[in-house]
Structure 1
């Protein structure tokens, strides 16, 4: 009976941790959520080790060990919040272990997300408003809005259709540089630099960088270094994309 119970508990714990890491949660929150479920599921002295690419867990009493690979990563803080709330509902006794397992399966298959049209509009709005905040002119508001939206769609399309990490950031940055240069050349924008800076902002890896710092400060050095490296490569890809356009102008 203990073995069956621990197997169910470990399935729930690993699924919860995987969903949170895939959705961009920092490791301190993942660690807290997984141990909360384990303690309230009755697992004695659980041993859990999580990284950005996998989770390992052992239940010493029943000598069970499980490994859960993590093959994708994105940013979905609402999903992180939902999984965390499920763990608190389980702790409060509002749902059973079996109910939580079923809820996690449903959540993984029907995770809420915004339509790409809304994502593009949000990226465009961020590009234009940040361009003005950084000292750009209002005359460049519309060019930054359009270029930011188009470049984000290119980034999303490459990530979705081809799943090539870092190339999507590079090509989106190249498109930003080209469109900004053309807009300035044809007098549709007055300052290429400010338009490009605004359009780049939705691509900047802010959440991975923030999580990298939080992981390092929380003692999760391996995950922190991995996320920091990923954020650095993304930033370099964006910079190289703009540099390529400037080099050949």
Structure 2
């Protein structure tokens, strides 16, 4: 977006328009990254306004829903609408953008902020192998939390890792929501059934519950409540509905396995 454009840190009469466009670029891309990572809409609006104000641009207007950002700098005739088609729960990216916003408020030069944004776009916060490994650890730990049998620990760890792997694998083929959680929970239930019936497993239900925990929309539920408390009713209702449908998809996958056995 900013190729072949001179980037400056202090505006003057001749280059003020270029400076404002650079500020617009930084604020809008920070908001876009936050929304794609599952951040709350009030956090996104506050971050974009703080960045704009930190670089001396007054009266920015921001409107954010879970799928759209409308950003305007009215005094400079700049307005853009960005539609977000792909969203995930990446708290690592949220933390990265929050830290960047704090550094900008602390006096980071505009040129440096633009370069940081470009590097963030090229980075991968959590690789697939780490997500799968973490899913297995979550299943393992939740089985201990639920007082499951020690003999069931391998199945819970494998089921949690398998669920995350299937979910992320399907997301790389199609972005259709809810099918990912449905098929992931279905294969988790099948794994738990095979381990309990044909293997040394003792409590199939506990294995299933522990293994599906990485799929549970806990962040969505928390964000929906926080949005409602903050008065962002539209975002709160939308995220609450998404969390409900996700939970239904998880339950449907497990229920289908019980119907087939």
TM superposition score normalised by structure 2 = 0.89
Per the TM alignment, residue 11 of structure 1 is displaced from its structure 2 partner at its CA by 1.6
For the residues of structure 1 that align with 2:226 and 2:56, how far apart are their CA atoms? 29
Per the TM alignment, residue 180 of structure 1 is displaced from its structure 2 partner at its CA by 1.3
Per the TM alignment, residue 142 of structure 1 is displaced from its structure 2 partner at its CA by 1.6
The reply on whether 1:90 has 2:104 as its aligned counterpart is yes
1:235 to 247, 252, 259: 247
- Unpaired segments of 5 or more residues in structure 1? none
2:114 to 96, 101, 105: 101
Equivalent positions of 1:52-91 (< 5 A) are 52-91=66-105
* Aligned position for 2:26: 12
For the residues of structure 2 that align with 1:168 and 1:237, how far apart are their CA atoms? 8
* Aligned position for 1:221: 233
Per the TM alignment, residue 28 of structure 1 is displaced from its structure 2 partner at its CA by 2.5
What is the CA deviation profile of residues 82-137 of structure 1, one whole-angstrom value per residue up to 9, with x for unaligned ones? 212222222221x22232122112201213223x2332222112112212211321
2:139 to 127, 132, 135: 127
For the residues of structure 2 that align with 1:75 and 1:125, how far apart are their CA atoms? 18
For the residues of structure 2 that align with 1:14 and 1:237, how far apart are their CA atoms? 33
Contact 2:155–2:191 (CA<8 Å) still a contact in 1?
A: no
2:211 to 199, 207, 215: 199
For the residues of structure 1 that align with 2:118 and 2:65, how far apart are their CA atoms? 21
In structure 2, relative to structure 1, the CA distance for the partners of 1:187 and 1:87 (3 Å cut) is closer
For the residues of structure 1 that align with 2:131 and 2:54, how far apart are their CA atoms? 38
- Secondary structure of the structure 2 residue equivalent to 1:161: coil
For the residues of structure 1 that align with 2:163 and 2:75, how far apart are their CA atoms? 53
The reply on whether 1:158 has 2:170 as its aligned counterpart is yes
Tell which deviates more after alignment, 69-78 or 9-18.
69-78
For the residues of structure 1 that align with 2:129 and 2:57, how far apart are their CA atoms? 45
- Unpaired segments of 5 or more residues in structure 2? 1-14
What is the CA deviation profile of residues 58-105 of structure 1, one whole-angstrom value per residue up to 9, with x for unaligned ones? 222223212122121112222212212222222221x22232122112
After TM superposition, what 4+ stretches of structure 1 lie above 4 angstroms from structure 2? Answer: none
For the residues of structure 2 that align with 1:217 and 1:92, how far apart are their CA atoms? 29
The reply on whether 1:23 has 2:32 as its aligned counterpart is no
Contact 2:192–2:204 (CA<8 Å) still a contact in 1?
A: yes
For the residues of structure 2 that align with 1:44 and 1:146, how far apart are their CA atoms? 53
- Secondary structure of the structure 1 residue equivalent to 2:89: coil
- Report how many residues are paired: 247
* Aligned position for 2:9: none
